[in-house]
């Protein structure tokens, strides 16, 4: 499966892209979406994907047991999201720290972790 072999090569660029998008000035560059809480939905989904990708790294590239891989992925995503929110409030003049963004980030990671534990993880076929 592609995810097993390329987990690290997917997770690192995604993480860098997420950090870049979080810290650059995007005002006036994004289309106006007429969806309530679209920004929070984006944060939730972005960090759900981040957690899933890092779970694959810890589980398949680092051969960690499932529960440890889920815990590490969730912790990584939550801490990464909090750090980026703090950096937005301290390093940039065009972005600000938003506690609700950090909550949306964390909820995306936590739900992904819970689903991975309940579902039994990602099924990878050998062969």
pLDDT digits (tens, 9 = 90+) for 90-118: 988 888 899 999 999 999 999 999 999 99
Write phi, then psi, for 46 (nearest 5 degrees): -60, -40
- Residue 13 vs residue 38, higher pLDDT: 13
Please, what is the Cα angle at 8 between 18 and 65, to 5 degrees?
A: 110
Helix or strand or coil: residue 14? helix
- 36-49 residue pLDDT tens: 688 899 999 999 99
- Residue 94 vs residue 125, higher pLDDT: 94
Q: How far apart are CA 55 and CA 62, in angstroms?
A: 10
Is the predicted pLDDT of residue 26 greater than 90, yes or no? no
pLDDT (average), residues 61-70: 94
**Which pLDDT value is given to residue 47?**
98
- Residue 13 vs residue 5, higher pLDDT: 13
Among the listed residues 107, 103, 73, 110, the one whose alpha carbon sits nearest the alpha carbon of residue 85 = 103
Average pLDDT score, the chain: 88
Instruction: Say what the alpha-carbon torsion angle 6, 10, 13, 14 is, to the nearest 10 degrees.
Output: -170
């Amino acid at each position: 499966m592609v995810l097993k072999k390329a987990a690290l090569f997917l997770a690192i660029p995604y993480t860098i892209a997420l950090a870049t998008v979080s810290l650059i000035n995007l005002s006036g560059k994004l289309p106006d979406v007429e969806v309530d809480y679209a920004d929070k939905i984006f944060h939730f989904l972005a960090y759900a994907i981040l957690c899933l990708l890092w779970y694959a790294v810890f589980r398949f590239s680092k051969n960690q047991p499932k529960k440890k891989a889920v815990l590490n992925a969730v912790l990584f995503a939550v801490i990464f999201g909090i750090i980026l929110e703090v950096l937005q409030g301290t390093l940039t003049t065009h972005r600000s720290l938003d506690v609700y963004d950090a909550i949306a980030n964390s909820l995306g990671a936590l739900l992904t972790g819970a689903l991975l534990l309940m579902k039994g993880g990602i099924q990878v076929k050998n062969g």
